[in-house]
Amino acid sequence: MTEADRDVFYEAVSAYPNGRSTAARLALTAREQGYGGVVLRTDPDRETAVGPANPTEIADADGIDAVDGVEIRTDSPGSASGALGEHRAEHTLVILAGGTGEMNRFAAEEPRIDVLARPMAGRGDVDHVVARAAARNGVRIEFDFSSVLRTSGGRRVRAVSDLRKLRELVGKYDVPYVVSAGAGSHLELRAPRELAAVGEVIGFPREAVLEGLSEWGRLAARNRDLQGGSFIEPGVRVESYDEES
Q: What is the dihedral of CA 199, 6, 218, 110, to 10 degrees?
A: 40
Q: Does 166 fall in a domain?
A: yes
- Per residue in 60-79, pLDDT (tens digit) is 666 899 999 999 999 999 99
Phi, psi angles (nearest 5°) of residue 122: 55, -125
What pLDDT does residue 18 have? Answer: 84
Q: Does 81 fall in a domain?
A: yes
Number of domains in the chain: 1
Whether pTM exceeds 0.85 = yes
Task: Output the domain CATH number for residue 156.
Answer: 3.20.20.140
- Whether the pLDDT of residue 230 is over 50: the answer is no
Q: Does 236 fall in a domain?
A: no
Q: Does 244 fall in a domain?
A: no
Q: Does 233 fall in a domain?
A: no
- Whether the pLDDT of residue 10 is over 50: the answer is yes
Q: Does 237 fall in a domain?
A: no
Closest CA to 195 of 25, 35, 21, 3: 35
Q: Does 240 fall in a domain?
A: no
- Per residue in 175-190, pLDDT (tens digit) is 999 999 999 999 999 9
- Per residue in 92-139, pLDDT (tens digit) is 999 999 989 999 999 999 999 999 999 998 777 899 999 999 999 999
Full residue range of the structural domain in which residue 113 is found: 3-228
Give me the helices (H) in the chain, please: 3-8, 23-32, 55-62, 77-87, 101-108, 128-137, 146-150, 153-173, 192-201, 206-226
How far apart, in Å, are the Cα atoms of 106 and each of 96, 113, 116, 231?
9, 10, 10, 23
Residue 179 or residue 243, greater confidence? 179
Q: Does 11 fall in a domain?
A: yes
Instruction: Quote the CA–CA distance of 34 and 23 in Å, as a whole number.
Output: 17
pLDDT band for position 245 (cuts 50, 70, 90):
very low
Instruction: Quote the CA–CA distance of 117 and 43 in Å, as a whole number.
Output: 13
3 state SS of 72: strand
The answer to whether the bond into 119 is cis (omega within 30° of 0) is no
